[in-house]
Structure 1
Amino acid sequence: MKKLMMLLLLSIFSLFLVACGTSEETTGVGPGSGSESGTSDEAQKGEASMEVEDLLYELKVDVDGEKVTVTMTLTNTSENVKRVEFSSGQQFDVFIRDNEGNTVYHYAEGKVFTQALILEEIAPGDTKTFEDVWVAEAPGSYTVEAMLILYAIDGEEIDREAFTLEVDITVAE
């Protein structure tokens, strides 16, 4: 009976770990070129960036047909390790709104996230990357709002909306 109970608890714990979200670390990504947007025949890109506490936050949105890929990166631009804390398994959020301001997509809707403090260390020059994909149901103009849900940097609490960026995109017919 104890083994069965232990196995059940271990399974539940494993499920919560899987639900923590997805992120991928890369190294060597340098600062972006700031805010800009442009279009091409096949795909459109929207970009925005900001820097807070020696952390460069970049938002890149690629539109390819109906597929909209939202990529958020956090790069340590200092010469010291930066410790970032997330207050839950939800490390980022994405809202996509139509030209009337209606939310047509919300990343976190219908998802469950762990309620655990997550500490990440980002070495100098290293980047942490987060990505989400949305498939548009209709062509049109949209605003993508993407935020990192950081609780603290190097042990100091920060404004929960400090890492929020927006870009405007167009999904063609």
Structure 2
Amino acid sequence: MGEKGKVFILLLLFIIPLYGGCGKYNEEPANDLSVNGDVQEGEKEDLKKRIVKKVDISKPLLYRKKLNGEIKENGRFQSNLSARKDDGKLVIDFTLENVSSKTETITFSSGQRYDFFIYNDKNELLYQWSEGKMFTMAIESVELNPNETLHFTGMWNFVDRRGNKVDDEGEFRIVFKVTGVVEGEDGINEDLMTSISIDMSENRD
């Protein structure tokens, strides 16, 4: 065999393993970025389903606090925040009632409608509902007629941001807010965010 033939064979022996290696590399799945928490897939939520004519408060509440008990002369909304323990979880209910005489519009800039934060008795943040979640970017508005109520429910399983179990008989402060903007207002309407302090040890089974 001539020198050219030997060189050709050597080149083949060198190129074939490289080609095979590239093929194996392409077959491996890519390492996608993972997100801890729920991912919204882009399905459009029907906000009208969250509007109720009358709030159902038939379930026993461990804690209940009505804010702004006296409606302001020019007030638009009446907010209400409550919490109860159910099946080892803290169930949080927030309602926003249109107490004005006209239809009010709340606009959301994404698929996120609300957020809530839970602090311990040292004012340390234990949990934030939206942390680790992704939301669709889409503007949507909801109209509230007079006396209609927007209702949101959130749950916390007494696990903190680091994945540690939290004493379910401790003292907590819950801050809840609607992430929308009220039409006709430059700033944030204070009725869209409220808080409540609770002491779970006072309600042992």
**Same fold by TM (over 0.5)?**
yes
Larger Cα-atom Rg: 2
Q: Distance in 1 between matches of 2:147 and 2:189?
A: 24
Query: Which of the pair is proportionally richer in helix?
Result: 2
Read off the aligned partner of 2:105 and give its amino acid letter. Answer: R
User: 2:53 matched to which residue of 1?
Assistant: 27
Residues 104 and 182 of structure 2 are in contact (CA less than 8 Å); yes or no, is this contact kept in structure 1?
no
Gaps of 5+ in 2: 1-39, 159-165
User: 2:102 matched to which residue of 1?
Assistant: 80
Q: Distance in 2 between matches of 1:45 and 1:158?
A: 30
User: 1:16 matched to which residue of 2?
Assistant: 42
User: 1:144 matched to which residue of 2?
Assistant: 174
Q: Distance in 2 between matches of 1:29 and 1:96?
A: 24
Q: Distance in 2 between matches of 1:103 and 1:20?
A: 31
User: 1:167 matched to which residue of 2?
Assistant: 196
Read off the aligned partner of 1:25 and give its amino acid letter. Answer: I
Aligned residues: 149
Alignment of 1:102-141 (within 5 A): 102-136=124-158, 137-138=166-167, 139-141=169-171
Normalising by structure 1, we get a TM-score of: 0.72
Deviations 1:98-128 (A, max 9, x none): 1111211111011111222221001111111
Gaps of 5+ in 1: 1-13, 31-41
Read off the aligned partner of 2:50 and give its amino acid letter. Answer: E
User: 2:15 matched to which residue of 1?
Assistant: none
Q: Note the aligned Cα RMSD (angstroms).
A: 3.1
Query: Which of the pair is proportionally richer in strand?
Result: 1
User: 1:90 matched to which residue of 2?
Assistant: 112
Residues 27 and 126 of structure 1 are in contact (CA less than 8 Å); yes or no, is this contact kept in structure 2?
yes
Larger mean Cα displacement after TM superposition, 104-113 or 83-92: 83-92
Identity level (%): 22
Residues 147 and 161 of structure 1 are in contact (CA less than 8 Å); yes or no, is this contact kept in structure 2?
no
Read off the aligned partner of 1:27 and give its amino acid letter. Answer: K
Select the structure with the greater relative contact order (CA < 8 A; seq sep ≥ 6): 1
